Amino acid sequence: MTASNPTDGAPPPRVLLAHHLRQLKLPTFLREYEKVTAEAAREGLDHVRFLLRLVELELIDRERRMVERRIRAARFPAVKSFDTFDFTAIPTLNKSLTLELARCEYVVARDNVITLGNSGTGKTHVCLALGLAACQRGFSVAFVTAAGLVHQLMEARDEKRLLRLQAQLAAVKLLIVDELGYVPLSQIGAELLFEIFSQRHEHGSTIVSSNLPFEEWTSVFGNQRLTGALLDRLTHHVHILELNGESYRLKQSRARRQQAAQPARVIADLEAGETSDR
Ligand code: ADP
Ligand code: MG
């Protein structure tokens, strides 16, 4: 009789291991363990070091997956970072404050950030980069435009799910509201947006970007009292980033046009040079 063998009839250990690792949600462990086993044998690693190496791989991968999940959940229109941001192009922007904000201590403190400046100066880029930094540091983020947010809120209100949406928006650690000021809001829209800022006040950080100086925010909200109350909350603990200057887009397209014109000019210069030499 072979019944004395306890493994008889049981699935092979590798199959069981794969099954258990899947159940424990350790995909990297599963993917890497054969390779690490071979490495351990080659390098003469003891069991503890072997396990440690596998566990570390799983941890690193899990962190990466979580950052990716947070980035997807944030719904950024594009993923941008400070690595691709040229601070010399916008001297009015306080570089050291901006990079300090990228460390996300303001998120822990539940402070707000307001980026102000004319169109094309990099406000959205800075908002996206701060949002990305927050995702990388483990904070939940939501990115919306002011008009988009108001639209979402009105729709939720009509469909009687406003409370749920408000709760979701209140729960994220960092809410980024881009482009406040491009579109004037309806009375209801302004009140709904005010409520969001109010609910987040001292509970979570909000970043707002606007092309309008504070004095002109009343034109967006259509109501001086509401604007006053909103600014009061938003600017209670706030870091202000000013981006005033020439539009980066315009500057870039001008540079491109000049570059495109360059070969023609070089030829023209050469020809002029040749003729004058003769
Ligand atoms: P705004 O939101 O202020 O209108 P954006 O952030 O949309 O401006 O900037 C316009 C474009 O120029 C974007 O593609 C952005 O990535 C780029 N850009 C703006 N400023 C800079 C900068 N200082 N360095 C690199 N790219 C920039
Ligand atoms: Mg923008």
CA distance 130 to 149: 19
Query: pLDDT by residue (tens digit) across 36-73?
Result: 999 999 999 999 999 999 999 999 999 999 999 999 99
Residue nearest to atom 4 of ligand 1 (CA): 120
Query: pLDDT by residue (tens digit) across 147-170?
Result: 999 999 999 999 999 999 999 999
pLDDT for res 268: 62
Mutate to test the pocket of ligand 1, among 87, 124, 248, 253 (most ligand atoms within 8 A of CB): 248
Q: What is the pTM of this model?
A: 0.85
Q: Which residues contact 171 (CB under 8 A, 6 or more apart)?
A: 140, 204
pLDDT for res 234: 92
Per DSSP, the residues of 200-238 read HTTTSEEEEEESS-GGGTHHHHS-HHHHHHHHHHHTTTE
pLDDT for res 9: 80
CA distance 144 to 252: 26
Residue nearest to atom 10 of ligand 1 (CA): 120
Which is nearest to 106 in space by CA: 196, 227, 202? 202
Residue nearest to atom 20 of ligand 1 (CA): 122
Query: pLDDT by residue (tens digit) across 115-127?
Result: 999 999 999 999 9
Query: pLDDT by residue (tens digit) across 76-92?
Result: 999 999 999 999 999 99
**Which ligand has the nearest atom to the CA of 80?**
1
**Which ligand has the nearest atom to the CA of 146?**
2
Ligand 1 atom showing the smallest separation from residue 126 Cα: 6
CA distance 138 to 176: 16
Residue nearest to atom 11 of ligand 1 (CA): 249
Cα three-residue angle 83-88-93, rounded to 5 degrees: 90
How many angstroms separate the alpha carbon of residue 257 from the centre of ligand 1?
18
Ligand 1: residues whose CB is within 6 Å?
80, 84-86, 89-90, 117, 119-125, 248-249
pLDDT for res 3: 45
Query: pLDDT by residue (tens digit) across 209-264?
Result: 999 999 999 999 998 999 999 999 999 999 999 999 889 888 888 888 888 776 66
